[in-house]
Amino acid sequence: MSTNTRITRALGKLAAAAVLAASTVAGTAAFAQDEISIIAVTHGQASDPFWSIVKNGISKAGEDQGVSVDYRAPETFDMVQMSQLIDAAVNQEPDGIIISNPDPDALGPSIERAVAAGIPVISMNSGISAAAGLGIKLHVGQDELPAGRIVGAKLAELGATHVLCVIQEVGNVALDQRCQGVTEGMEGSGTVTILPTSSDPSEVEAKIRAALTSDDTLDAVMGLSAPTVGEPAVAAVQGLGMQDDVIVASYDLSANFLQAIVDGKAAFAVDQQPYLQGYLPVTNLSQYARYGVMPANNTASGPSFVTKDNAQQVIDLSAQGLR
């Protein structure tokens, strides 16, 4: 082989290496530019114990999937502000939007705008009955009316005949459905009284105390949030010395309410697994953005009961923000 031939081949190899290096850099740059972006808009602030678990699930899924996730929520339960947050998310053209949908009538137009823009939307926690009609790809959560029926049947089984159902977010359709389900689940063996209140635990406890004091037929208090209502309900019943006469139960979990179950001060909690409600939508949207795949059906994250038999096992995970 001549010297000129060897030089020509060497130069050819160097050129090929340069092209490969350039294409690798370009591919890396393209990947960086095409980073998957997901925005979550819920009605619950991350400072709320329940929603902090949801956010933990969202953050962990973002980390596991290698995608960018932004969590947003109004400062209070405010559907006008929440719809504005959804509109702002649509304007950013993310690869997917996650929403909770406590009021489909109020939030529907903003959700439909996202769908019309070609942005895949997954709902979680609330709004399952409205999901298909709004063009939402998938719902992850608990179907509240059937769940309420199961809870009502359990309360009746425990001997409850007059239940105080405490709603801490007036206007949240999902909470209305829970109380309605409790009524239906009791199948005529008892009655349900609705107690509207705020999300202030002190106000909740005071209103429960007043209700129990003024109506001696009440024999059960059903909270729709363990930290916001369940814990104050335990405090109210214990403070009035009515622990032998009034059953206390609640949706959702908190370390303190679980301890109350262990101690026999509360009967049960209804777990809808908020961690999964945050984790699964991010995972599904990530896979949809990458490969165009999406589960064919909604995902039921609840309900399941936590009773004295298994509460201790859940306490440590609850304290870590996972249950």
Contacts of 16 (CB under 8 A, 6+ apart): none
- Cα torsion for 185, 192, 240, 308, to the nearest 10°? 10
Structure confidence at residue 288 as a pLDDT band (50, 70, 90): very high
Architecture of domain 35-142+273-292: 3-Layer(aba) Sandwich (3.40)
Q: Can you tell me the distance from the alpha carbon of 318 to that of 323, in angstroms, rounded to the nearest whole number?
A: 4
- How high is the pLDDT of residue 158? 96
Q: What is the mean pLDDT of the chain?
A: 89
The predicted-structure confidence for 119-168, as pLDDT tens digits, reads as follows 999 999 999 999 999 999 999 999 999 999 999 999 999 999 999 999 99
The predicted-structure confidence for 1-54, as pLDDT tens digits, reads as follows 444 444 444 444 444 444 444 444 434 333 334 699 999 999 987 677 889 999
Which position has the token pair 């949801």? 54
Buried b (16+ CB within 10 A) or exposed e, 245-255: ebbbbbbbbbb
- How high is the pLDDT of residue 49? 80
Q: What is residue 126's three-state secondary structure?
A: coil
The mean-pLDDT minimum among 172-176, 220-224, 262-266 falls in: 172-176
- How high is the pLDDT of residue 50? 85
- How high is the pLDDT of residue 322? 81
Whether the pLDDT of residue 87 is over 60: the answer is yes
Whether the pLDDT of residue 248 is over 70: the answer is yes
Tell me the backbone φ, ψ of residue 149, rounded to 5 degrees.
Answer: -65, -40
SS (H, E, C) 250-305: EECCCHHHHHHHHCCCCCEEEECCHHHHHHHHHHHHHHHHHHCCCCCCCEECCCEE
Structure confidence at residue 318 as a pLDDT band (50, 70, 90): confident
Q: Can you tell me the distance from the alpha carbon of 302 to that of 143, in angstroms, rounded to the nearest whole number?
A: 8
- How high is the pLDDT of residue 80? 96
- How high is the pLDDT of residue 22? 42
Arithmetic mean of pLDDT, 252-263: 94
- Per-domain residue ranges for the chain? 35-142+273-292, 144-271
- How high is the pLDDT of residue 33? 41
Q: How far apart are the first and last CA of the chain?
A: 73
The Cα diameter of the chain in Å comes to 108
Domains 35-142+273-292 and 144-271 share a fold: yes
For the segment(s) 144-271, the CATH number from 3.40.50.2300, 3.40.640.10, 3.40.630.10, 3.90.870.10 is 3.40.50.2300
Q: Can you tell me the distance from the alpha carbon of 253 to that of 271, in angstroms, rounded to the nearest whole number?
A: 6
